[in-house]
Every structure is written in structure tokens, then in C-alpha cells.
Amino acid sequence: MAEPAGTAAGHVSPPIVLASGSPRRRELLEQLGLRFEVRPADIDESVRDGEPPVEYVARLSREKAAAVAVSDVTLVIAADTTVDVDGQILGKPADAIEARSMLAAVSGRRHHVHTGVTLRVGHECRTAVVSTAVDVVPIDEATAAWYVATGEPFDKAGGYAIQGAGGALIAGVEGSVSNVIGLPLTTVIALARDLGVALP
């Protein structure tokens, strides 16, 4: 387990576990100056029949936090992100054909990115869902072919990465940018505070 991180005020946070293997979420937490252990949660991420996108990401974040068994003094941070196009959940594309299909679905229009975030210390748990509206430029076939060829879409919900080359496809964002990347940092800090943990 990584050592606790101290803040400028001398506060020492509890040990932290990130219940995700996402390199984007790891990078976002590192930007806060936190030290933490990465322990990906192994759960079934299938969508239940009729499950709305917001409820889906909230449920998965809670299940991920519960799946990572740690001590009562460890702060667990879990999250799940999905792209919502008119209520349809877009996960991670399995191949180039699916990636092109997802890019076509978001092309020239607005969609929403939802991230469910759960923080847990012992049996105490806090969950929130953050939603961000994203406007995408019209994507022609040549642009879609270029972007798929970068390889970037294949481990990203919705088939694009706003922080990478996919940023060239984004016309505008209404809401949290870190949420679109995979972890709304202001919400993480607020939930931790509600659990009595002051993150830097």
C-alpha cells in the first residue's frame, strides 16, 4: 500500500485505493498530488434491461467500490463512465467497425457523458453522478478513418478521447471536462469531504 499523502496544511489522508485500471483516472488523481494503490475491480458490467445510463453508472461505481475489499481506514475511489446518445449507452468499441459506428452516432450533435463516482471508507459510502454535455463537430468519412487509425477509440467509452487526438472532434463542452475524461475531480473532493477526508 502506498504511503498516505500529506497536504500543505499538514493533514494526512488515509491510504487510498483507486478501484480502476483506467490510466486516465490514475493521471487525474496524480494531478491532485495524491499517492494511491491501483486495484481494478472485477465485476460484471452488463447493462440491465431497461436500465437508464445514469442509474447504470451509479450502480457500477457502487459495485466496484464494494468489490475492492480493504481495511476500514482506507478510502476507496471507484468510478464508471458512459456516453449517452438519446438514452442509448455507448461503451467501448470492440473493433474499427464499431468505432466508426459510434463516431457516426455522435457526429454533428450533442450527447452526454455520465460518470458515477463512489467513495467508500469502511461501511460508509457516498455516490454521485456527474453529467457533462459534449458537442461534436460533423465527422466525415475521411476524418473518421483518420481517427480510428490512431487507435485511440478502442478503450474509450463512446469511441473518443477528449484529452487526446479526439479533442479535434469536440466543438464544445458544457460541464466538467475531467468528468468526460473519466473522473470529475471536484465531485471526488466533495464526496471525500462528506466522509471526513480532506483531499489536497
Domain residue limits, the chain: 16-194
Mean pLDDT, range 75-97, rounded to an integer: 95
Mean pLDDT, range 69-87, rounded to an integer: 92
For the chain, give the percent of residues with pLDDT over 90. 88
pLDDT digits (tens, 9 = 90+) for 101-153: 999 999 999 999 999 999 999 999 999 999 999 999 999 999 999 999 999 99
- Per-residue pLDDT band at 177 (split at 50, 70, 90): very high
The one-character DSSP state at 199 is: -
Residue in the structure block whose three cell numbers are 438514452: 87
Question: Please, what is the angle between helix 23-31 and helix 185-194, to 10°?
Answer: 70
Contact 66, 76 (CB under 8 A): no
Contact 36, 29 (CB under 8 A): yes
Mean pLDDT, range 26-49, rounded to an integer: 94
pTM of the full structure: 0.90
**Residues known to be catalytic:** 80
Lowest mean pLDDT among 23-32, 54-63, 66-75, 185-194: 66-75
Cα(153)–Cα(43) distance, integer angstroms: 23
Among 140, 155, 138, 53, smallest CA distance to 99 is for 155
Domain 16-194, CATH class in plain words: alpha beta
DSSP letter string over 19-62?
----HHHHHHHHHTT---EE-------PPPTT--HHHHHHHHHH
